[in-house]
Structure 1
Amino acid sequence: MLVVRPITPQDYAALYTCAVESGYGFTSLPVDEGLLRRRIARAQEAFAREHVSEPGEEGYLFVMEDTATGEVVGCSGIEAAVGLTEAFYHYHLGKVVHHSKSLDVYNALETLTLCNDYTGVSELCTLFLREPFRVNQNGRVLSRFRMLFMAEFRDRFSDIAIAEMRGVSDENGESPFWGWLEQHFFTIDFNQADYLTGIGEKSFVAELMPKFPIYVKMLAPEAQAVIGKVHNNTRPALRMLESEGFHFRGYVDIFDAGPTVEAEVAHIKSVRESQRLPVRVGTPSETATAVILCNTKLADFRAGKAAIEVGEDHIVVSQEVADALHLQADDQARFVAL
């Protein structure tokens, strides 16, 4: 069974493998030993804080493990509140109107304005599933379980959640959007800029990024064409988030112009439709329902795909599922239809 659980220091080698395999443009998983170890330590701190009444600096990082082999096959994370100590940048896609009544000229022009509008919101991040395991809805589980975690531990997260989608880049990791910025404002390539951001070295953004709105029409055509567009490998993740109620509000990444989508946490489909019921351990009926199921513990959190029988005031899970998700009879569990 594939089970999602909090990351531990013993998972470092597997997390490093995920970072290598994630490739260019995956900002939150840079191939950097120091940063990856710090992320693990920071996650352990977050899971150890039992009493949290509002979102802060906590970063929750999980891994998906094959319980049959002990192999870690993917990772997924949530930032409780972004931008509290380090600026969190986006470009906002807006419009300005140039109008001359006397000449009968009216031009509505798109602009990109550097902003920090998402400061303090929660972020779904660091979602990566290794290639051989992208089957049987495993990716859906690895993404959506986070919504159950947020529903269960509501006070730890903001009222708004966002997810940054990887933008368009070629097989060499080069971004058409960054290519234009590099030519006019920077002397570092996309991969270096992306890596520096991933390891927390963001001061160059404030120092070198243009402070005034950029007219989109000034960009090279190939740069204009990718604004708000996602990398081909990211399309399934975007479709899944859209089905959960996330929407694009005109905010794009400052490096590759990939879209950021947002939703009110209370209105996310998996949050809204999840249920919390006590557990009975037994044999689910033949009409068992396929769900994403999790326990309600923090440091000992477990989640996974399961077939359960849903009664009026309880659910029935198999002994195998109970063991894998650290559930006992009468424990509370949260679930949502898969």
Structure 2
Amino acid sequence: MTFRIRVARDEDLQHLYEMAKLTGGGFTNLPPDKPALRAKLERSHAALARDDHAQADDLFVLILENIETGDVRGTCQIFTRVGQQWPFYSYRIGTVTKHSQELKRTFRAEILSLVNDLEGCTEVGGLFLHPGERAGGLGLLLARSRYLFIAQHRARFADRILAELRGVIDEAGGSPFWDGVAGRFFGMNFQQADEFNATHGNQFIADLMPKHPVYTAMLSESARSVIGLPHPSGRAAMRMLENEGFAFENYIDIFDGGPTMTARTDQVKTIRDARRATIVAIDPAGEPALAATGRLAGFHAALAQVREVQDGVTIDPAAAEALGVAPGDAIVWIER
């Protein structure tokens, strides 16, 4: 079977909805709500229709498609600049140090401060791969296709990039972090807050959340123990982000306490090392790679076998078909 990444279309709505129902909660960028998903598609269409270099509050939705069946088996999203319509909130983990001369003791307390430090960054998120396809490098293709898309449209994106990883969720679908912090102020459980945020945005956080720092020592052990930890299903995603050059710099999600990873956009490995070349021949020989072609609505990416030759590269027949390319066409590619 051959897969490719392409931009989402209106007819993908039902596929996206079915995948959203499999996420298990805490997945704000892919809510199991058709109107919210339809709004995302409309926003993506508007971003694709604008072919200029101005940075704006854009969203691009990409999907993983089985070319043989037409089935959608995964999705991911790119937000060009977060915090433009609603403030983008994070908790920053910090330390307060105090010294008592009389006791001759120094006390260091960990605190969580509500900040908008990451406002204006590009965000990669909304990545979901169908459980039946979690093999053969498709997760890697889905994740790194976002960076190839950014490389193809670099002027549309910010100089700093972030990725929020889902935090720890218990077997009942609740969040120990939410229960220990924000849930005390909102009169709703994590699932209710998660659904509301996915469909209405997080302005209610600004309206109701206390602005003073939270001392973690005053939280329950269950809440403290998950601060900055990814959901078990997100550990592989965290390793992939680290391999791309992302780092955890003490920012966490305000809902579930999951880690927010950040990087300089031009230092993300796939963006930094992406190569551009002209296809000179279709040939099955080559080294494993990820290849992409096209701009905006014409963007496609696929796993490929690529070989560098004197005047360009060769690409294998299956990848050429997936990308819709032939000798003389240009691609951007990166080794796997």
Is 2:86–2:201's contact at 8 Å kept on the other side of the alignment? no
Which residue matches 2:328? 330
Query: CA–CA distance in 2 between the matches of 1:275 and 1:183?
Result: 47
Larger deviation: 157-166 or 23-32? 23-32
Find the counterpart in structure 2 of residue 189 from structure 1. 189
Name 2:201's counterpart in structure 1: 201
Q: Distance in 2 between matches of 1:85 and 1:63?
A: 25
Aligned-pair distance for 1:309?
Answer: 1.7
Shift of 1:18: 1.1
SS in 1 for 2:297: coil
| Alignment map for 1:156-171 (pairs within 5 Å) | 156-171=156-171
Q: Does 1:143 align with 2:143?
A: yes
* Mapped contact 1:92–1:115 kept (Cα < 8 A): yes
Q: SS of the counterpart of 1:241?
A: helix
Secondary structure in 2 aligned to 1:324?
A: helix
What are the Cα deviations for residues 270-290 of structure 1, in whole angstroms up to 9, with x where unaligned? Answer: 1121100011232243xx111
> Deviation of residue 183 (structure 1)?
5.3
Specify the SS of the correspondent of 1:148. helix
Q: Equivalents in 2 of 1:182, 1:146: separation in Å?
A: 32
Q: Return the offset for 1:52.
A: 2.4
Q: In structure 2, how many angstroms separate the alpha carbons of the residues matched to 1:149 and 1:318?
A: 21
Residue matched to 2:302? 304
Secondary structure of 1:3's aligned partner: strand
CA distance in 1, matches of 2:76, 2:183: 34
Please, what TM-score do these two structures have when normalized by structure 2? 0.97
Instruction: Kindly report which structure 2 residues correspond to 1:65-214, keeping only aligned pairs within 5 A, or say none.
Output: 65-181=65-181, 184-214=184-214
- Structure 2: 5+ residue stretches without partners: none
1:18-66 deviation digits (Å, cap 9, x = unpaired): 110112110111111111001011111111111123x211100000000
Q: How many residues align?
A: 335
2:23 maps to: 22
Once the two structures are superposed, residues 168-204 of structure 1 have per-residue CA deviations (whole angstroms, 9 ceiling, x without a partner) of 0112211111111255322100001111111133232
Give secondary structure in 2 for the equivalent of 1:207: helix
Distance 1:169 1:198 in 2: 17
Q: 1:114 to 1:165 in 2, by over 3 A?
A: same
Contact kept, 8 Å, 1:167 with 1:259, in 2: the verdict is yes
How far is the alpha carbon of 1:3 from its aligned partner? Answer: 0.4
Aligned-pair CA distance for 1:111: 0.3
Question: Structure 1 residue 294 and structure 2 residue 295: aligned?
Answer: no
The one-letter amino acid paired with 2:13 is: Y
C-alpha separation in 2, matches of 1:99 and 1:108: 9
User: What amino acid does structure 2 have at the position aligned with 1:29?
Assistant: L
User: Could you tell me how far apart the structure 2 residues matched to 1:228 and 1:313 are?
Assistant: 48
Residue 250 of structure 2 aligns with which residue?
A: 250
- Mapped to 1, the partners of 2:195 and 2:287 lie a distance apart of 43
Give the superposition deviation at 1:326. 2.1
Give me the whole-angstrom Cα distance separating, in 1, the residues matched to 2:174 and 2:118.
26
List per-residue Cα deviations over 1:305-328 (Å, max 9, x = no partner).
Answer: 011222243111234322321223
CA distance in 1, matches of 2:310, 2:164: 38
Secondary structure of the corresponding residue to residue 298 of structure 2:
coil
Q: d(CA) in 1 for partners of 2:129 and 2:222? A: 30
With the length of structure 1 as denominator, give the TM-score of the two structures.
0.96
1:207 deviates by: 1.8
Contact map agreement 1:76 1:125 (CA 8 A) in 2? yes
Q: Which runs of 5+ in 1 are unaligned?
A: none
Q: How far 1:206 sits from its partner (Å)?
A: 1.2
Contact 1:284–1:318, Cα closer than 8 Å, also in 2: yes
8 Å Cα contact 2:86-2:203 kept in structure 1: no
Runs of 4+ in structure 1 deviating by more than 3 angstroms, as ranges, are none
2:61 & 2:311 partners in 1: Cα distance?
A: 32
* Distance in 2 separating the partners of 1:178 and 1:201: 17
Residues 281, 322 of structure 1: 8 Å contact kept: no
Q: Distance in 2 between matches of 1:259 and 1:243?
A: 16
Map Cα deviations across residues 200-235 of structure 1 (whole Å, 9 max, x no partner): 332321122121001110100110000000100000
Q: Give the fraction of aligned pairs with identical amino acids, expressed as a percent.
A: 36
